[in-house]
Structure 1
């Protein structure tokens, strides 16, 4: 395992990511590693780090909603783009990353605001239950419940329930893809588009990207991914359930998808393999690998131009597909 103080100093990494990490270190911020600290401390570290990352976010109106979930109330936060008053706006249902274990709607606040402003859609951010307090299929069921809320109750909150996109990063990309798959069933809300940042799509740690980047030299480790999956799935025989591992699902009938992968990421090949399966299923997709960026780059928009450009690309794709 490389020295954690040297994780972000390798030549292949975008220099702005190196500078960002150095700035965080200068402020005494540490990585949220649940393998190196108790879980409550890792969650607190993630929240503190994202306060730094979220500075200077656009000031837009938000609304807190309590919706009916599969096992109790489900908290949603609506981010409204400017200039949309007086007419129904499309909805982008977004699921944050964090291995199903850490992070929150708050850690992703800047990203969510940017997506709303740049897409022209209302971002419906889902505060799903985290593992290990809640385990699969709880999160999958809450993701589908969020879509159903938009379809059934969105109009009373200024949403156009006929124009819905999904998005997510890492574990959230897993939930976004799983929700889009579930939404193909008769009577479920229609999803028109989806974008997926560096998703974790299968319980597989033997890909070339895990072998190449799983030691943590660019941040995320294979060991941490194994632990996240364990917290999410528990000890049941669920590793091949397509609701948990959507890479294994029948992908036919999905809406167009935009895949945005990190080149320096042990999860890179999850996106590459998903692209291959989408092509085989005749699902329209677009794949971009950001070769000099690590996992979690969508949270680095304040200081990393390439990350900001990737978020803009996702937002403009939403705008194009939802007609905003």
Structure 2
């Protein structure tokens, strides 16, 4: 991994990422910064930025919105199916969007969700979970369990094969997905059989090499912003060492196979690499796909960055292949 202190940012990042950053800035749709704006304005800015990333010509899919019974009332789920398979009995990927628990939505991740459905040939169940600080840990984990239980109980009537079930997410959403995989070990019904984790936010820990290398702001996500996200999610008094809040600290034995898609130029890089080491110790099959020249949130850049699109297609193929009985070769620890 190159030393970010010695090499200019422009020589580390994929050139298409640099071009995208310049285009977004010139168009007036830069990434949202919740440290510089009131939260409501930051959320609106995030929606605008991702609308720019998604574009007006989405990947064709079939979309259906349903509701599950959540811990605080109805929980919205969006079912996304690949074209031509609207009525098929499909494997299902329960997916949680990123945004530090405080930003973003199922709308900001629309293009990514469509790509996962199409290239994985799965039904994606996207969860519109509650945002922090209005709702804090562990409320979002309770909503994740509600989504899983809805799929198990009601999924078959909506064309979902509950016997072929995966969980996935990016950043904060990867935290929820890993937490759900952990919690599902004690749930009745079919087990979660695969996990897809993009550049996850797995521990309340900023003393890592990747935070020191990439957390100052040259690559997008900053350490300061990560501290802010954790405060919104945990509040001031929730213990940061809680293994449900920080699943890197949990007992990982018995987890299903996991696919870790890792951004190399990301202050959260080491969250995923440390997780991989712990998975190896726990004898959990896994694969690490490290994209050394991509930053945090690359899965949302697929319309502009070819390498990001390839990474998402590879991840989708890993999920779909595993759920269809054609798994990738994985490290077994």
Which TM class, normalised by the smaller chain length?
A: over 0.9
The whole-number CA distance in structure 2 between the counterparts of 1:29 and 1:9 is 21
Q: Is the partner of 1:11 in helix, strand or coil?
A: helix
TM-score after normalising by structure 1: 0.96
The whole-number CA distance in structure 1 between the counterparts of 2:79 and 2:203 is 30
Note the C-alpha offset of 1:226.
Answer: 0.4
Note the C-alpha offset of 1:236.
Answer: 1.9
Deviates more, 1:280-289 or 1:82-91: 82-91
- C-alpha change, 1:189 and 1:203, in structure 2 (3 Å) is farther
| CA deviation string 1:247-272 (max 9, x = no partner) | 00000000000001111100000000
After the TM superposition, list the runs of 4 or more consecutive aligned residues in structure 1 that deviate by more than 6 angstroms.
none
Structure 2 equivalent of residue 104 of structure 1: 105
The whole-number CA distance in structure 2 between the counterparts of 1:118 and 1:216 is 33
The whole-number CA distance in structure 2 between the counterparts of 1:147 and 1:297 is 27
Asked if 1:52 is matched to 2:52, the reply is yes
Q: Is the partner of 2:277 in helix, strand or coil?
A: helix
Contact 1:9 1:18 in 2 (8 A): no
Asked if 1:66 is matched to 2:50, the reply is no
Aligned residues, how many? Answer: 317
The whole-number CA distance in structure 1 between the counterparts of 2:230 and 2:322 is 32
Structure 2 equivalent of residue 249 of structure 1: 250
Contact 2:185 2:191 in 1 (8 A): yes
Contact 2:62 2:86 in 1 (8 A): no
Note the C-alpha offset of 1:84.
Answer: 1.7
Contact 2:202 2:247 in 1 (8 A): yes
Structure 2 equivalent of residue 142 of structure 1: 143
Structure 1 equivalent of residue 3 of structure 2: none
Task: Write the mapping of 1:226-237 to structure 2, written as runs, cut at 5 A.
Answer: 226-237=227-238
Note the C-alpha offset of 1:289.
Answer: 1.4
The whole-number CA distance in structure 2 between the counterparts of 1:145 and 1:46 is 26
TM-score after normalising by structure 2: 0.93
Note the C-alpha offset of 1:188.
Answer: 5.1
| CA deviation string 1:148-197 (max 9, x = no partner) | 11000001111111111111000000000000000011415410101100
| CA deviation string 1:24-47 (max 9, x = no partner) | 112111321110111111101110
Contact 1:89 1:121 in 2 (8 A): yes
